[in-house]
Structure 1
Amino acid sequence: MTTNWNSLHDKVTHHLQTIYANVSLEKSVAELATELIESMGLANDHDIVEPKHHCNYWDEQDVMMITYGDSIMHGHEKPLFTLHRFLQTYCKNTINKVHLLPFYPYSSDDGFSVIDYSSVNEALGEWTDIRRLADDYGLMFDLVVNHCSARSAWFENFIKGEGPGSDFFFTASPDDDLSQVTRPRVSPLLRETPTQHGTKYVWCTFSHDQVDFDFSNPKVLLAFMQIIRLYIDKGAKVFRLDAVAFLWKIVGTTCINLPQTHEVIRLMRTLIEHVDPGIIIITETNIPNRENLTYFGNANEAHAIYNFSLPPLLVNTLVTGDCRYLKSWMMGMPPAQNGTTYFNFIASHDGIGLRPAEGLLDDEEISTLVHTMQNYGGKISWRASAHGQQKPYEINITLFDALQGTVDGPDRWQVQRFICAHAIMLGMEGMPGIYIHSLLGTSNDYEKVANTGQNRSINRKRWEYDELERLLDSPYSQHHRVLTQMSQLIRIRKAQPAFHPNATQFTLQLGNQLFGYWRQSLDRNQSIFCVSNISNEEQSVLMSDINLIGTDHWVDLISGETIEDDSGYLHLTPYQTVWISNHHHQ
């Protein structure tokens, strides 16, 4: 073995010493390091790629679509094949990355209760369908790392007390003090399970069908590194570490964001980047903002973190017509250092999480938001707080329906308000992720909620391809209007260097009805002033307040109109956005 291998071995050993400092292991950490490196296919020096540090493996061209494998169905065709056809037909020049939500065999939670990590759910297709998608799009795979299905072979072996998986699960005693454990659900934490070795109490952070792994057993870590290597071989370019904040548990603590969890992510990062430095890790940590930011580490943990505070703050801004909370949050967000970026989204397969708004919106503001969303057909998921009272955890509603009006009720600005939300997101620092149902302007699916009994189903419609095609090709449908306008915004965004995820961002102070920020390209050649009227009345802004430099030639990239900087005022219609730039890139 030579320098590269030895230096990687030293790094991995160091991670393992930190992770397992208080765990007695059967093997030495040096042996374990060797096993992990080999499980990633890095047996020799020539397999190992040296990563560059603080390198941005993304730019303004990157726009990700979030979707289930079966969001669009067509007769007996494999849904993954249908999805590829949809993308090639309707998203060719807009979307270049796809977050494929879990496409493995599963037993509940729409895929997040994985039965078998190494195969494709037959109802969706097979590995060749994944490969076809990976040939044309950068694919994000879910690594459901905290728990698996209670119907998995691993858990069946746990019950039998023998075979792979028999020692993979975290157990505790009902007598343990678990009062501090942070929970996203109201179900009991421990699941009483009869096994060959007597009754065990299995830890279930989410549901009793989702049994939590015990990462203090290095075999679990090894199994996951083998899964990661498989996914890389099958075309994964981005890994989403699902619910990773809960990964390490110590009885008597909160069991969230523990130091060992951060070190496991750093270890995964080290191993993955020596296989391919261009593979991106995104942590899915639906927690208050300050804690979320820690997952960047020192550009040695996640490359990207979900900007979880954005959805509730932006929806709140647009339904109240007041951007003060969004503005103060944005001013407090540190710029992501090179090699890291924010992953921005305003709708996803889950609802609008409210925990990330805690400390940013007060209780009264949250209560008004919840009430408004209920008026628009939204459902609310609850959690128990430390004092046992019920607190809203998540709003379940499609973004299109969430923006059908204001706190005063529905109005005629639904499409404009919806497009405004995306214009704000698309211009912001970070990489944008757009849920397929936002691209399609999908409304609440009450029928699916009735069929599944799950609130989240409201935003998980399955479209029939023929019906969708008819609606998208009809100029009068909301779906056609939304897709056309969204596609235009995305195409404009992708051509602007000032919209690079790491380009400079500065929040503008334009009062509470106008939300604005300034972006400047990394080479400083392009400036864009992004200003949105977030109210349902016309607003005017004094050109001198935006501070356009008189010698430059300014144009609004969205309307194509030239901006005369000495004209005094810029007038914006309700929910209009302008992207005023000194360099016109098309």
Structure 2
Amino acid sequence: MAVKNQVQLITYPDSLGGDLKSLHHVLNEHFSDIFKGGIHILPPYPSSGDRGFAPLTYLEIDPAFGTWDDVRAIGEKYDILVDLMVNHISRQSEYFQDFLKKGRQSEYADYFITLDKLWEDGIPVQEDIDKMFLRRPVPYSSFMIEETGEEEKVWTTFGKTNPSEQIDLDVNSEKVKQLLTTYFENFKEQNIKIVRLDAVGYIIKKLGTSCFFVEPDIYKFLDWITELAHSLNIELLPEVHSHYSIQYKLAEHGHWIYDFILPYRVLDTLINKNSKELLHYLKNRPHKQFTMLDCHDGIPLKPDLDGLMNTEEARKVVDVCLERGSNLSLILSDEHKDPDGFDVHQIRGTYYSVLNCDNDAYLAARAIQFFTPGVPQVYYVGLLAGENDYENAEKTGDGRDINRHNRHNYNLEEIEQSLGHEVVQRLLKLIRFRNEYDAFNGTFTVLDSAYD
């Protein structure tokens, strides 16, 4: 299917009104002519953690949000994009729970990556781990098998608990491929148009590598899953936070990619009032991209902009954002920090707040995004020009919740109040212009101009 070159909304299933039915109402009541590009509904599945990103299954919708009927109802008017955490599944899933009970005798045992699939004796070697791009202090968790009393260590790339709630899947397993096929067939049945492959860069585990975007192995998997998706008339959007050169390789292979460079480039331009680096970037970037300024995580720096940013200048931008209330996520592995110690993975705060709640600066940022070739996405907090939610972040202990508003959702009254703000009305006018003006389907050229 063809992805529409119009603006998309990014929202959790309960962020605008409290559930999927309310989301549908809000879209029809307030934004019926706004999100012609579609709606990215962040994980609506039953999940045991990480705000939906530790799914138990993709065959059901969490009853707290609604049902697949509600998703299909939204999909009658809007193209729906959903996530598939291709790298992992919940510890509470029926598959891993059966493994916890029966161990290697479980019919699902091959779904998971026990350490003997990497190290012959199943004993991890620190020298190998030191080379890996880590998201946790160690990339595995230990579990006790109920029926045998034996300990099993399985791969867990992500997770804030120990043991992790997010258990990695072995994408080399034919059983896992069959499971993924079942999920895609269900997406087709539910009229899903685009699937984002969340954390796909982490799927290959190979000793001697960083275990992140391992080439050429990852292309073999992407070729397989692309063929599967396209056979069902579903587009794929691989989500890979990495050095920009890897994004460009994905583009060369014909994939849609995320423009994770643009958010920082725009921020740097507006804070320092100098467009030199932005102009250079706009002249050289691929055009088949999804663009964004804000999302449920943060503004990317490392490793996305490695080689594109001066870390001394980046520290200044980071310091300004911290002064304006942001918090940071950091790189854990010393090997993947900059030689000078720069270790900022993402800046976390609302884009409106990092621009000091300056309406003109915020609209300028959105204008740059919308004029940049690609499919523009607007996060729900950014749509309503939301400010940093310090109370939410402090209460949950998750720095990302600073940009997730009031325990994750706007009620109908708050939405109507936000729509009364001048900056929001100006943004809606800009979105309509981006959706409807024919020039955005034409040829994009960057002209030389003064940097200041």
Q: Secondary structure at the match of 1:504?
A: coil
User: Offset at 1:204?
Assistant: 1.4
User: Offset at 1:251?
Assistant: 2.1
Summarize deviations over 1:255-306 as a string: whole Å, max 9, x none.
1212222221111111222232xx221111011111112123432xx2x110
Whichever residue aligns with residue 89 of structure 1, its letter is E
The 3 A distance-change label for structure 1 pair 175 and 492 is closer
Other-structure match for 2:132: 181
The 3 A distance-change label for structure 1 pair 89 and 230 is same
Other-structure match for 1:284: 239
1:149 pairs, out of 66, 90, 105, with: 90
Whichever residue aligns with residue 343 of structure 1, its letter is F
Other-structure match for 1:509: 448
User: Offset at 1:175?
Assistant: 3.1
Unpaired stretches in structure 1, ≥5 consecutive residues: 1-55, 406-413, 475-479, 514-586
User: Offset at 1:109?
Assistant: 0.9
User: Offset at 1:200?
Assistant: 2.0
Q: Distance in 2 between matches of 1:457 and 1:315?
A: 20
Does the 8 Å contact 2:90/2:165 carry over to 1? yes
Does the 8 Å contact 2:384/2:419 carry over to 1? no
User: Offset at 1:116?
Assistant: 2.0
Does the 8 Å contact 1:153/1:165 carry over to 2? no
Other-structure match for 2:273: 321
Q: Distance in 2 between matches of 1:103 and 1:482?
A: 30
Unpaired stretches in structure 2, ≥5 consecutive residues: 116-121
User: Offset at 1:464?
Assistant: 4.1
Whichever residue aligns with residue 439 of structure 2, its letter is A
Other-structure match for 2:264: 312
Whichever residue aligns with residue 256 of structure 1, its letter is F
Does the 8 Å contact 1:384/1:390 carry over to 2? no
Does the 8 Å contact 2:17/2:26 carry over to 1? no
Other-structure match for 1:170: 113
Pairing of 1:480-559 with structure 2 (within 5 A) = 480-500=421-441, 503-513=442-452
Summarize deviations over 1:126-184 as a string: whole Å, max 9, x none.
1111111111110001011001111211111222224442221112244332221122x
Does the 8 Å contact 2:384/2:415 carry over to 1? no
Q: Secondary structure at the match of 1:148?
A: strand
The 3 A distance-change label for structure 1 pair 272 and 427 is same
Does the 8 Å contact 1:170/1:214 carry over to 2? yes
Name the one with the larger strand percent: 1
The answer to whether structure 1 residue 57 and structure 2 residue 2 are counterparts is: yes
Other-structure match for 1:295: 250
The answer to whether structure 1 residue 250 and structure 2 residue 206 are counterparts is: yes
Give the TM-score normalised by the residue count of structure 2: 0.90
Q: Distance in 1 between matches of 2:232 and 2:43?
A: 23
What is the percent sequence identity of the aligned residues? 28
Does the 8 Å contact 1:306/1:342 carry over to 2? yes
Whichever residue aligns with residue 240 of structure 2, its letter is T
The 3 A distance-change label for structure 1 pair 174 and 325 is farther
Other-structure match for 2:53: 112
User: Offset at 1:117?
Assistant: 2.0
Q: Distance in 2 between matches of 1:422 and 1:213?
A: 37
Q: Distance in 1 between matches of 2:401 and 2:39?
A: 21
Whichever residue aligns with residue 509 of structure 1, its letter is D
Summarize deviations over 1:224-273 as a string: whole Å, max 9, x none.
01101101111210010001011111122221212222221111111222
Whichever residue aligns with residue 193 of structure 1, its letter is F
Summarize deviations over 1:429-477 as a string: whole Å, max 9, x none.
1110111111101111111112211000011113443422441454xxx
Q: Distance in 2 between matches of 1:251 and 1:216?
A: 15
Q: Secondary structure at the match of 2:76?
A: helix
User: Offset at 1:316?
Assistant: 1.2
Name the one with the larger helix percent: 2
Does the 8 Å contact 1:104/1:111 carry over to 2? yes
Tell me the C-alpha RMSD between the 2 structures.
1.8
Does the 8 Å contact 2:326/2:347 carry over to 1? yes
Q: Distance in 2 between matches of 1:384 and 1:466?
A: 40
Whichever residue aligns with residue 87 of structure 1, its letter is L
The answer to whether structure 1 residue 82 and structure 2 residue 33 are counterparts is: no
User: Offset at 1:390?
Assistant: 6.9
For these two proteins, the number of residue pairs brought into alignment is 427
